[in-house]
Structure 1
Amino acid sequence: MSRPRLPILAAALGAAAVLVSPVANATRGLRRSMGADPEGDPRVTGSPQWQGGGFQNRLESHVLPSSGSQGSMAVDFAKKGDIGRPAKPVPLVTPALPEKASDFAATWLGHATVLLELNGHWVLTDPVWSDRVSPSATVGPKRSHPVPMELADLPALSAVLISHDHYDHLDTATIDWLTEYQSMPIVVPLGIGAHLRAWGVPEERIVELDWDESHTVVRPGLSDLVLTCTEARHFSGRGFTRNKTLWSSWVVASGTGEERRSVFFGGDTGYTPAFADIGDQHGPFDLTVLPIGAYDTRWSDIHMNPAEAVQTHLDVHGDLLLPIHWGTFDLAFHSWSAPVEWLVEDAATRDVVLALPRPGERFDRSTAPSAAWWREVAKESRAS
């Protein structure tokens, strides 16, 4: 039976929308979308990562450019135009999902949203179905392509994983839908539980972890699913405060011995040597899911570039690399296709096998797509 589709804010406003000014429209729901501050939570303030009133990376990391470069950024934004968007519609594939999750497969749904299959479990990462990644439904980065499937068509999930609380990774409207129509736990880094509680997620469905902590999902007839929160190099914040919630990468594993299947999900991160330690402790991985887009020398500490994604894949002992965090939202200054072109070039020199699916295209190790489909869509096909 079909479930109700995710409501679009503009439609929900209905006829009353014409009576509301554009400014009021843009600010409607802002306070709720910003979530809540985990102030006073002893697990948050007691974390080894909490220092000086907020979470900190283990390596010194500059989040924003220096004051001297902010002017150049403003000029770049003013003149960038639509270089970060495709010239033609992005080709989508309606996912052909099996009735039951396989031992190992993945479906990229755009940006950092990936539907994973491990030993019968369905796991969804950083689910974002909204049209904009912003506290506002009318202002902020807009999709370059639709989500290739409806929320109502998702299978019964074993878990949802969140890497951090930025709007392009933690989407209020999507969490609302998943809370009402699914029953899986939402597994998050420390502090993000405050957002979820503010949005009405039941306490028993919220799992908050610090780096190096794990949660096990037990489902009848399936191997246990072990979700381990691991280090990343990034930052957090949805409003005017920063770093009150933790960010992370994730190890997703199920089974033992020859039946073990595992995925390393990078979320959103800069490069860190800690990935080699994660590989030594948790690898090898059947699949690495790593960000390649929204890089810039001015924030290189907290966003990796494609060459660093290849290095991370090697550090964690990955078999197949799925690039994410490109192609869906225009969040930086490079061209739309630059990240994937750079990745393909660098991976070829290091014998790294890539999965390059169109949004919605399901694959496993033997069917990993490799065709350069984006070159029919991009304004240019060379990295900038």
Structure 2
Amino acid sequence: MNLYCYDLLILLIAATEPALASPFSSLARFWPRFSAQSLATNSTTTNSTTPSAFIWLPQDEYSGKTFFDRFEFYTGPDPTRGTVNYVNSSVAFNNSLAYFEAANNTVVMKGDDTTWLPEGQNRSSVRISSIAQYNTGLFILDLNQAPWGCGVWPAFWTVGGGQWPYTGEIDIIEGVHDNEHNQVTWHTGPGCTLSLESNYTGSVVTDNKGVPNLDCDGNLNGNAGCGITEWSKASYGPFFAASGGGVFAMKWDETGIAVWSFYRSAIPGDITKGDPNPANWGTPVASLAPATCDPIAFFVNHSIIFDITFCGDWAGNSYATSGCPGSCSTRLMDPSNFVNASWSINSLKVYKKQIINGRISAALAIEPNWTILGAIVLSLVLGY
């Protein structure tokens, strides 16, 4: 029997004829996402007279021993010119650069931290890309640690399936060296800009003259895109790891693209329960408004990527002013410098937005769409 159909049926019955819904009351605890609170706060307006409620439904989960089953290992040259050798799945698994840690149910991806290298030689590492592609969604990553250290440059990001940057790139977690602040960045084709008036707590990344870089066009400014630096000194690097990690969430829909981050001790309860409601999370650390950048037109067919590179365009070019010792090329020689260059992941969950069409009164009563209700009842009767 289709449980999703049951979900919608119970919601519509409860909204219109509460007395009829009483036989289902014992099942209500299994569908907390249909609470009055979630319907009250998850709402959007398609025109002035027809608002709609919506919920975020589970779409994909990457976790546990099957985490890598729906990812592909990238083995090509690093587009960011890092001093790195991305290995295939066999090499990664055989050399413990990627593995599942059953004792604590975590997934680990890391750079090589055992091999001494001559100066200038590439260090082995991992880059994976999801087989699935997404057009909008709510992406929630629960992790214990993101890679960090002098010369290290990791990222958790999504990128479009077409020619870069015209189908967009969203960098959700990115940093270099021992930085303390995570940076969220967007790369697009021409015509997308970041608004200073948008609602976010972070600071817009500036150019070398201190001018806010608001143009997200990846063809300009050395492919810098437009970015926002988180305010928290523990959103990246050693302090983030020392606090037990936390959760990063990226919401991408017709209302824009926004990113939140939460310490381990401050993860919202709705995330923990698998009933995420971004309306409860407060102001995001970074957001890209639809008024200045259409999130549907500029971001298309995105795969999810994790990677760890070394030196390269960002970490290499910023090394001299990073406070790190020596040079990036000499730093890369000693494997003990990369003991913290690893991802430790509990889960990555992707949710999709489901619109519940109807009219919502001040009392949150829903006037049902009887065509939809009829279709649901029919599907239940036929056993779909």
The two structures share one fold, judged by TM-score above 0.5: no
| Alignment TM class, shorter chain as reference | under 0.3
Q: TM-score, normalised by structure 2?
A: 0.24
Whose strand fraction is larger, Structure 1's or Structure 2's?
2
Task: Name which structure has the greater RCO, CA cutoff 8 Å, separation 6+.
Answer: 2
Q: TM-score, normalised by structure 1?
A: 0.24
